[in-house]
Chain A
């Protein structure tokens, strides 16, 4: 079971960044998104497809369409430059899986 993400996305400050994640089992499981900055542990930023944990800015949102889920960052700021990982599980919740990660560059 695999999740596929683009290796990199680049946007200018203030623009909208969209990072996709695709996987055959995604229709059967929720998707989650993590942000990881250099030298730091990952942080959950979206859970259950489109829910934000407390403390995560509103500019982060999630959506899904069939086998593709999307992380959208509206009004990108310099501090959003990081690696982003999607995560889900197989249909029986016996294996968790991460996407390969997407490096967001703020130009």
Chain B
């Protein structure tokens, strides 16, 4: 499994940026995918998830309405469109694969089982 993020950089407040995550080494269409971010010197913050079918999406309250997660199965690529960026969005952004697992009772076992190395987004004027 390999996940490689790209698209980070320095952007002014209020502007937009799109991150990409190229996936390989597994059947991309069988797994949900997450974006998780980490501000400098801070902890991990879950950002968004998109299920394997590409339809079901959930967002953290801090980004809902500004960020959009999407995927292109033909390109094995995950995206994060970030609009109206703020200083507090400055972080390393990781893409991560969802475990897509269930226990013996059918209860979801959902965690990030593989991570990329991250791409840094800096929002600054």
Contacts and interface: CB of A to CB of B under 8 A. Distances in A.
- Give the interface SS of chain B, mostly helix, strand, loop or mixed: strand
Interface of B: 34, 36, 43-46, 49, 58, 60, 94, 99, 103, 107-113, 115-118
B46 A85 contact: no
Contacts of A9: none
Given A42-B36, A97-B46, A98-B46, 4 more contacts: A30-B107, A42-B115, A101-B43, A101-B44
A99 B9 CA distance: 27
Interface residues of A, number: 25
A28 to B, nearest CB: 10
A48 B108 CA distance: 10
A47 B43 contact: no
Contact of A100 (B43, B60, B99, B115): B43
Given A41-B118, A100-B43, A32 B111 contact: yes
Contacts of A34: 44, 112
Among A34, A53, A85, A99, the most chain B Cβ lie within 10 Å of the Cβ of A34
Closest 9 CB pairs of A and B: A101-B43, A41-B115, A32-B111, A96-B46, A98-B44, A94-B58, A100-B43, A48-B109, A85-B44
Contacts of B44: 34, 36, 42, 85, 87, 98, 101
A40 B117 CA distance: 7
